[in-house]
Amino acid sequence: MKIGELAQIAQCTVETIRYYEKEALLPAPQRTAANYRSYGQAHVERLRFIRNCRALDMTHGEIRALLGLMEKPQDGCGAINHLLDDHIGHVDERIAELLQLKQQLTALRQQCQTEQSTDACGILHGLTVMETEAKPKRHTHLG
């Protein structure tokens, strides 16, 4: 099948497929005599796997590691469990960060309870005087 067909089946864009090929997450397809890419069922399955991992917010590095582990079916799944445990830890960190963000936004929202002119708005004043804290180094792929 051609790249457009694969994109339609996998419900993604042609650019996404090319990007995954460039990142070596999706193996390079065979080429036809006319030099068109020719994809097979293995590409569909690999692309579905990658997209499912991305839906779970996994990084390309995590996906690459899982793909490498898939290629060693004789090995145990301990490394897979470890990778997923680490990813769950990243999700926990992000949840904590989002809860902190919600607290900050809620406190800021409390500074303006009534409709008034913008020069008297507690939210705008709060944003102007708010001290920003240095962001802790994140261990997640979100930056």
How far apart, in whole angstroms, are the C-alpha atoms of residue 107 and residue 56?
31
Tens-digit pLDDT profile for residues 3-50: 999 999 999 999 999 999 999 999 989 998 998 889 999 999 999 999
Q: Which amino acid, 100?
A: Q
63 C-beta neighbours (distance < 10 Å), count: 21
CB 104 within 8 Å of CB 94: no
Overall average pLDDT of the 70-91 stretch = 93
130 token code pair: 């708010």
Which helix H or strand E contains 38, and what residues bound it?
A: strand 37-38
Q: Residue 77: how many CA atoms within 13 Å on its side-chain side?
A: 4
Overall average pLDDT of the 110-115 stretch = 84
pLDDT at 76 over 80: yes
Q: Which amino acid, 78?
A: G
- Rounded to a whole number of angstroms, the distance between the first and last alpha carbons of the chain is 37
Overall average pLDDT of the 104-125 stretch = 86
Tens-digit pLDDT profile for residues 89-108: 999 999 999 999 999 999 88
The per-residue pLDDT of the chain, averaged, comes to 89
pTM of the model: 0.76
